[in-house]
Structure 1
Amino acid sequence: MNKFANKASLFCIFAKDVNIKKLPTSDFMKTLVRTKLIVLLIIIIIISLAMLIYQQKYEKNKTNVFISGLISEKKFIFNNTLTFKQNELRKHIDDYTIWDELVDFHYTNDTVWAKGIFDEFVLNNFEIDAVFVCDTSGKLQFSNKLPLLDNLNLPIKNTNELGGKYIRSFQFYQLIDSQLVQFVGQRTYGTTDIKKEKPHGAYFVARIWSVSFIDKLKQLSDANVQIVPIKELKEAKSKNHGQAINNIELKNYKGEIIAYIVVTKDFTALEKIQQMSRVNELLRWGFIILILVLLIILLYRWVFNPLQRISNAMQDENPGHILKLLEQNNEFSRMSAMFIDFLNHKEELLAINDELRDSRDRLQLWNKQITDSIFYARRIQKAVFPDKELMQSYFKEYFLFFEPKNIVSGDFYWVKKIESKLYIAAADCTGHGVPGAFMSLLGLNFLTEITQNKPNASTNEILESLRTKIKNALNQNVNELKTRDGLNIALCIYDINLKKLQFSGAYHPLYLFRNNELMVLPADKMPVGMHKNETEFHTIETEIKPEDIIYLFSDGMIDQFGGADNRKFMGARFKALLQQIHTLPLEQQKIIIKKEFGTWKGEKQQLDDVLVFGFKLAV
């Protein structure tokens, strides 16, 4: 019987409160699983394709951004290079050391001086191919032209045409026999003409953009550089396969565009590399999709088919569907063997299932009866505690923080008035729950009986009598010290006429706050019950002042584990809490104590019943 107990328990999971439910047909199961696998495959393919398209688009955009960045960089480099080369010509033009002599030359036409300065000094020390000097009418006074510049013709009427009337310096270009010539110059002024108001003529230099010069620009800018006449620009663009980096306008002395500097760069090799990278990415994703498809096909064959066989066997209760699976050494063969074993013992398992269901029903009934009994016991326990109206008549102000661990509590509080004496107690019985509740009823009953029979007894005498009654009730004797049943208690008697308070305690002290200072009335270090070092209880007496606040409590809150380090709350922390809140209204103190206890405990289990009783006596 025990051999099949575990299997029967598993079977009960399916059976539960009713007979075994009929499983779906195998065709339906087959369709459902197959559909899910196909949908899964489609989802994987769609996600993979979406990621592939995104990756391709991302790589293409990255290539475009990269090429755009290279174009900007090349444009920046070429512009700086061109500016640098142009400024080389200005170095000489901006040197005014010979200008007073140059102004004199406009009027003396001293060719000997001109050849000495321009031929021997200027052409040999600067990257200049020719020098020109003309008067204000535009008449050429001196030039050392190269053969290429023999055809140079500047039909200007005056120097104002070179850049404008108010422009002192100028730059322009001329195309001579398909070669570009750059001219840089400025009007000539005497060094004493600070405001540059009276030009005497013009002085300018020329540089031929030879093949070697253009090659140097290509090398410095790492780009293809062409000088394209304006008439040939359209044709040049159609022949050029590189990407345009910059088109710089070249103007003659009249401000007319005569040609362009066309700067291009061929990025074909880079684009091919990026294209190969995208193709590789495409192949990689295709391979991944292929692997996933193969995995799903294998999953279909290795997992779905055996499950389908087992499903058919369970539906038909026919082990013939799964005999082939028994030959394999895997989970499906073990499942098949367990199912065949189940079929062989089906009737026995069904009987066990019925027996277990009956046992479960009986346990549920017993649990309900016990729970109902405990809830009824809680009602009885609450009924023997002093009611709210009675408590309000006994005290000027009070609060009770009472938090049982279980439905019923082993902690109890007791208040009774006999003539001019008010008896007050807070106790913690051995254990909690039902055992503690039984002890609390014994304690409540014995305290009531003792005070009625001995109305003049002091607090220590009451505890002595209570100890005797508990020992007799529990059949405790000196030879049975292992039996520790009993209670810890803080007991007070307040004489209303004399305004005096007697106190005796078994483990539980009394806290009294007077003028913001804490007075601790200590308890004896023994319980009310059997104890190996048993002695007589002591009584402490004190006079009560109008604003005195008294606290009686069990050790439930003090011993509770919690906080960040999972430690006990401890007595020192409890004292500090009372010291902090004792001046507040007592009902507000209860709220703070309850919140502090909940925060400290957190999600941890409550270990014991909790009782904190605070009150002010009518004085």
Structure 2
Amino acid sequence: MRLLANLNTYYRLLLLIIGTSTLFFLLYLFLYFYTLKQEKEVYIAASTEYTKEVGSIFQLNSKTHLASIVDVTFWDELVTFVQTRNNTWYKDYIEGEFSTYEVDYIGVFDLERKKISSTSSPKFRTTDFIPKAAFEQLHQTKLIRFYKRVPEGMIEIFGATIHPSDDPKKNKYQPSGYFFMARLMDKGFIENLEKISSSAISLVPKDYVTSNARNSINVNLNLKDWAGKTIAKIHFERAFNLNFDNTKKILGIIIIATIFNLLIYLYYYRRWSTNH
């Protein structure tokens, strides 16, 4: 206190200017880093929620097809068809209802993995695309879902073993055959999923790395083959507009104005002190 008492008015004013400016800079730094912390926490929370949402939507998008293939494969008449290979029955009850399955391929196979009958949409021409090992796995699991790349593009494949109607859980009898469905993940598939998820969607390579842009949130889901190996990814992206850029700009303007004012104070302080 004695030291301050010995200072003249101009030095006291200088200390006051420096002291208040220092406090303001510290406050600015606190607000700036607090803003960065909040921005990061909000982004992480939104990203986590989006990941859960996308996962649920993608699973739900296949749920109808899984339910359809489960229902159709514990059917006495389908068991009889595998045995009799009555093509008329197949055309009436499987091919005739092909559009209701909303897929691009249906195939019925015997236990020797030989195709009995199949139906494809006009845009799907590939044949014999189901790996032999997938049949072996299906025989054990009774239900399978996986992805495969064919000349037409990426496809999602559903498979189920065929059983009588009194074996809905498929654990009383050995399978009578195999039933497969496949759908193309084409433009129509992507556009429908984009509408449901309110996202921009694309198929990307398995080694694709998402950018760290803060103006969007991203999710990559692995597309796996029958063996569980990732062969590609489906990329979801949604705009993320809740950021703190405007707040940081305002803080930047304030700090620039403060520095400018400090320079003015120091300039006039020197002039006043020189004149006196």
Query: Which range, TM-score by smaller chain?
Result: 0.7 to 0.9
Change (3 A) 1:188 1:98: closer
Change (3 A) 1:253 1:70: same
- Whether the aligned pair in 2 keeps the contact of 1:72 and 1:245 (CA below 8 Å) is no
Higher RCO (CA < 8 A, seq sep 6+): 2
**How far apart in 1 are the matches of 2:219 and 2:104?**
27
- Whether the aligned pair in 2 keeps the contact of 1:180 and 1:208 (CA below 8 Å) is yes
Residue 17 of structure 2 corresponds to which residue in structure 1?
A: 41
Instruction: Give the residue type in structure 2 aligned to 1:281.
Output: L
**How far apart in 1 are the matches of 2:147 and 2:154?**
7
Residue 280 of structure 1 corresponds to which residue in structure 2?
A: 250
Instruction: Give the residue type in structure 1 aligned to 2:56.
Output: N
When structure 1 is superposed on structure 2, of 123-132 and 38-47 the one drifting more is 123-132
Change (3 A) 1:243 1:196: farther
Aligned counterpart for 2:118 among listed residues 127, 135, 143:
143
Residue 425 of structure 1 corresponds to which residue in structure 2?
A: none
Post-superposition CA distance 1:68-101 (Å, at most 9, x none): 2222232222112111111021221132586111
Structure 1: give runs of 5+ residues left out of the alignment.
1-27, 309-619
Change (3 A) 1:253 1:147: farther
SS at match of 1:92: helix
Higher radius of gyration, 1 or 2: 1
TM-score (norm 1): 0.39
**How far apart in 2 are the matches of 1:291 and 1:38?**
13
Change (3 A) 1:126 1:178: closer
Change (3 A) 1:252 1:290: closer
SS at match of 1:226: strand
- Say whether 1:131 aligns with 2:106: yes
SS at match of 1:207: strand
Give, in angstroms, the shift of residue 190 of structure 1. Answer: 1.5
Give, in angstroms, the shift of residue 251 of structure 1. Answer: 1.9
Q: How is 1:429-508 mapped onto 2 (pairs within 5 angstroms)?
A: none
Q: How is 1:309-388 mapped onto 2 (pairs within 5 angstroms)?
A: none
Instruction: Give the residue type in structure 1 aligned to 2:154.
Output: L
SS at match of 1:186: strand
Instruction: Give the residue type in structure 1 aligned to 2:161.
Output: R
- Whether the aligned pair in 1 keeps the contact of 2:104 and 2:124 (CA below 8 Å) is no
Q: Percent identity?
A: 21
- Whether the aligned pair in 2 keeps the contact of 1:182 and 1:207 (CA below 8 Å) is yes
Give, in angstroms, the shift of residue 102 of structure 1. Answer: 0.8
Change (3 A) 1:243 1:161: farther
Post-superposition CA distance 1:311-330 (Å, at most 9, x none): xxxxxxxxxxxxxxxxxxxx
Residue 167 of structure 1 corresponds to which residue in structure 2?
A: 141
Q: How is 1:527-542 mapped onto 2 (pairs within 5 angstroms)?
A: none
- Whether the aligned pair in 2 keeps the contact of 1:134 and 1:142 (CA below 8 Å) is yes
Residue 184 of structure 2 corresponds to which residue in structure 1?
A: 208
Instruction: Give the residue type in structure 2 aligned to 1:129.
Output: D
- Say whether 1:192 aligns with 2:166: yes
Give, in angstroms, the shift of residue 206 of structure 1. Answer: 1.5
Post-superposition CA distance 1:549-591 (Å, at most 9, x none): xxxxxxxxxxxxxxxxxxxxxxxxxxxxxxxxxxxxxxxxxxx
- Whether the aligned pair in 1 keeps the contact of 2:203 and 2:233 (CA below 8 Å) is yes
Q: How is 1:42-61 mapped onto 2 (pairs within 5 angstroms)?
A: 42-61=18-37
Aligned counterpart for 2:150 among listed residues 176, 180, 200:
176
Instruction: Give the residue type in structure 2 aligned to 1:137.
Output: E
Give, in angstroms, the shift of residue 55 of structure 1. Answer: 1.2
RMSD: 3.6
Aligned positions, number: 269
- Say whether 1:250 aligns with 2:226: no
